[in-house]
Chain A
Amino acid sequence: MPPVVTGYLLLLTFGRRGLVGAWLADHLGIVFAFRWTGAALACGIMSFPLLVRPIRLSIEAVDRRLEQAAGTLGAPPWRVFLTVTLPLALPGVLAGMVLGFAKAIGEFGATITFVSNIPGETQTISSAIYSLIQTPDGDTAALRLVVVSIVIAMAALVASEWFARRATQRLHGN
């Protein structure tokens, strides 16, 4: 689904007059429309599919035999999941989080459609760069943001590699 479509559906559902949005605003005082919370919701929904796959794969890759061993030691299934499966799936969970984060940094279409492009409130780094490019003499500022986004992306990648390596070492029992 194109991001703009997702953004528009979010607006219809979670907007002030949307089915869910109106209820949340009236009963719980939670407003998504044109707030940073809405931008977060849009980024979360857009990055969710990217996040799920590596996490699911790494959970499935955990050795069933270790989970059985935990069961024979008295651990009910939910505790097996928390004490064995999840820690052993950690590298994949981290990889999924970094992918999700990268997608959220780049998020543009859904966010701008749902919560517009309000500086200091709903502007993502991508929509800020877009606005600056549209502004006369905005090039320098835009380039500055380009550098910032590259640095953030690289740092996230390095951090995730480091975490994943640490986690893998742990998993091999060293």
Chain B
Amino acid sequence: MLRVDVSKHLGEFSLQVSFSSEGRVTGLFGASGAGKTSLINMIAGLLRPDRGIIAIDGETLDDTAAGLHVPAHRRRIGYVFQDARLFPHLDIRQNLDYGRRMNGLAEDPAQHKRVTDLLDIGNLLDRRPGKLSGGERQRVALGRALLAQPRLLLLDEPLGSLDEERKVEILPYLVRLRDEANVPMVYVSHDADEMRQLTTQVVMLKRGRVMAFGGPEVLPGAS
């Protein structure tokens, strides 16, 4: 379970959000500027809330009243960024292996194969990030986050920088990930269709406030 009750001031913008989600995939939905990325950065530990609590499965990660802030590298929360952020100086194999090495996890060839098969990236292992297409890069970023064995996976508009054709290419992988990877996810997007296909719970954000919370039916406009 993910519990978030935080407030944060960023210049003129103020974010005040509170929700608890049991869902396998919690969607953060809203227009750009609604505070989605700030919120997800707080869950990841990259941004500190001014006030409030963030807890996952009963473990508190942020509690400003108690002065508690677990740094990002100790949260075991995977993060797939909109711009992939693969390490350009490492090949794909080393990129995928990075989280395992940093967390001191034992090599697990079976898990490695499962993830590379799930995302169809087994044929890219010896390439460098600069030689990949946008869609391939995003799939590798997903694999890299999964192989660090996170307890929660954050996806910040992973389709945002891709054209329509590529989106259609990646979406089935995200569905497979949801159904097979067994990691709860927080999915950020401003696209209601994507949300409907992927999420089980939706937090609707507008100008830093929660406008609605519930199942995918709270999303605007049936398609």
Contact = CB atoms under 8 A, between A and B. Distances in A.
Nearest to A63: B85
A71 B98 CA distance: 11
B72 A172 contact: no
Contacts of A69: 79, 81, 85, 87
Interface in A56-108: 65-66, 68-77, 79-80, 83-84, 87-88
Contacts of A68: 46, 72, 85
A79 B101 CA distance: 11
Contacts of A74: 73-74, 76, 99, 102-103, 148
B98 A73 contact: yes
Interface string B96-126: 0011001100000000000000000000000
Given A68-B72, A72-B77, A73-B99, A172 B88 contact: yes
Contact of A70 (B45, B75, B98, B131): B98
Contacts, number: 78
B81 A173 contact: no
Contact of A172 (B75, B130, B145): B130
B78 interface: yes
- The main secondary structure of chain A at its interface with chain B is helix
A70 B129 contact: no
Contacts of A165: none
Contact of A173 (B75, B79, B86): B86
B88 A71 contact: no
A73 B88 contact: no
Nearest to B128: A173
A170 interface: yes
B103 A84 contact: no
Nearest to B91: A173
A75 B73 CA distance: 6
A20 B127 CA distance: 53
A171 interface: yes
Interface of A: 65-66, 68-77, 79-80, 83-84, 87-88, 170-174
27 contacts: A66-B85, A68-B72, A69-B87, A70-B98, A70-B102, A71-B45, A71-B71, A72-B45, A72-B72, A72-B77, A72-B78, A73-B73, A73-B102, A73-B145, A74-B99, A74-B102, A74-B148, A75-B98, A76-B73, A77-B73, A83-B98, A84-B87, A87-B89, A170-B89, A171-B89, A172-B88, A172-B130
